[in-house]
Chain A
């Protein structure tokens, strides 16, 4: 409790911590619901995964780092053995959706857009931060939806979030795990080793050459790995940091655009199956590369645009 009463901690941090507790509880609910769900083929694994994750999210601040680390390892075990499954799900009743859509029409966009609107308003006009804005936007969105229909009860929201969370499953933790891997790389001094290696190839101190190598490297690494999130942690630590940021380039611009340079790679690789291969099947296309072929030209134009943008405004 001392955390919430302390005057040294900003209101924004306290509110954010409450948001994490709510997120953690939703996650733990997902675990408990599946543990009791007889239709789930892997009740124990599913429960272990979501509950240990939920505990770290909700109460991690008060748990010693090493215990959090152990909980994370426990969480990954059922995921690796594919024992995190989807149980019984109540998908939306098409009749209800049709009825609501006729009643609401375009008004449904109000709660849909409120989250983003609140995030921007809070980021610009308050010291509480964008994420608290997201939280407030969600509260607003929930209230508006409840006013729209009596059938939008609290348990409907909870059940719907469980349904979506179970559907995305353990892979939704990929960005967080990659960020942690990045932290391990940094702690172990991986960046320094790459910097030493690449230093022989890239002339030190030439920021523009650094930017070009970083951008093209992001694109190529993403094509190989099929995932820009995986590429950005490795590339920022190895190339972006020592060869671009160390010479005073703007970390906001370089750090962020590197990710979207990676997305240019995502557009060009069959490794990103969700975006480039699955649609081929879903749309009954004949050419397996039919989606990629329609994206390569755009990807290259966008890469050149972003490199120029970085070089001019770094």
Chain B
């Protein structure tokens, strides 16, 4: 009857897959696991309390918010738009690639410009479409649709794989605490360091992939010799 201890895991998997309230899922899984695992309610509350206090480092993002909003107020996004605007005479695919480099470098410092809603839609997409027009072509609808997908993809890849380079980011902190509960003590700096090759590879491979894909689509839709 050891298997019953896994009911908490089952609750998490099914709960997230069915898009139930995330906090409710976690709480239910914790209560069920504590009861079937013999911790009891007191054990549950003590484990919860101890672990929460031990993991307070994960709330560092609240301290960072102390400046994030004010940076935005003082023109951070506008400066980023000016910076990417320096890319001139590039193809649409190269615009997406240039954004990837910028997004990746700033992600490593935990600096964001507003994601798809705040930056890709108002700044990157007009630049990419402008790049097609600059070559004297009428932007093809299907090509623009693909560029939207590529720009969002670049946004996601750069953010996911470069934000782990920030020492003190949520990912590293969660890994640190998960390993600590298994008895392995690791440093945040080392966790960030092992991701450097992954971050660089992710940016480079995405740029190559999207550049080539855009080139192929341009040939197909505008048929330039």
Contacts and interface: CB of A to CB of B under 8 A. Distances in A.
Contacts of B153: 267, 291, 294-295, 298
Considering residues A130, A141, A165, A306, which has the most beta carbons from chain B within 10 angstroms of its beta carbon?
Answer: A130
Contact of A184 (B30, B190, B191): B30
A286 interface: yes
Give the 4 A-B CB pairs with smallest separation, nearest first.
A188-B37, A101-B75, A160-B69, A69-B45
B74 to A, nearest CB: 4
A133 to B, nearest CB: 8
Given A178-B26, A184-B48, A266 B145 contact: no
A157 B66 contact: yes
Contacts of A98: 75, 78
B178 A182 contact: yes
A7 interface: no
21 contacts: A26-B62, A27-B62, A65-B46, A98-B78, A130-B189, A134-B63, A160-B73, A161-B69, A176-B52, A179-B58, A183-B51, A184-B34, A185-B33, A194-B9, A225-B17, A229-B174, A234-B12, A237-B181, A252-B190, A286-B145, A305-B198
A189 to B, nearest CB: 6
Interface of B: 2-3, 5-6, 8-9, 12-13, 16-17, 19, 21-24, 26-27, 29-30, 33-34, 36-39, 42-53, 55-76, 78-79, 82-83, 106, 108-111, 116-117, 120-121, 125, 145-146, 148-153, 155-157, 160-161, 164, 166-168, 170-175, 177-179, 181-182, 184, 186-191, 194-195, 197-198, 201-202, 205-206, 209-210, 213
B106 to A, nearest CB: 8
Contacts of A259: 164, 171, 174-175
Interface of A: 16, 19-20, 22-23, 26-27, 56-57, 60-61, 63-73, 76, 79-80, 82, 92, 96-98, 100-102, 104-106, 108-109, 111-113, 115-117, 119-120, 123-124, 129-131, 133-135, 138, 141-142, 145, 148-149, 152, 156-161, 163-165, 170-191, 193-194, 196-197, 221, 224-227, 229-230, 232-234, 236-238, 241, 245, 251-253, 255-260, 263, 266-267, 271, 275-276, 278-280, 282-283, 285-287, 290-291, 293-295, 297-298, 301-302, 305-306, 309
A276 B148 CA distance: 12
A27 B184 CA distance: 31
A130 B188 contact: yes
Contact of A106 (B55, B56, B82): B82
B33 A190 contact: yes
B64 A134 contact: yes
A46 B103 CA distance: 34
B45 A66 contact: yes
A9 to B, nearest CB: 15
A172 B45 contact: no
A230 B30 CA distance: 13
B163 to A, nearest CB: 10
B52 A68 contact: yes
Nearest to A116: B109
Given A188-B38, A290-B149, 6 more contacts: A69-B48, A112-B106, A180-B30, A188-B34, A255-B186, A283-B125
B193 to A, nearest CB: 8
B39 A188 contact: yes
A22 B65 CA distance: 12
A258 B210 CA distance: 25
Nearest to A310: B194
Contacts of A186: 181-182
Given A131-B168, A285-B148, A72 B109 contact: no
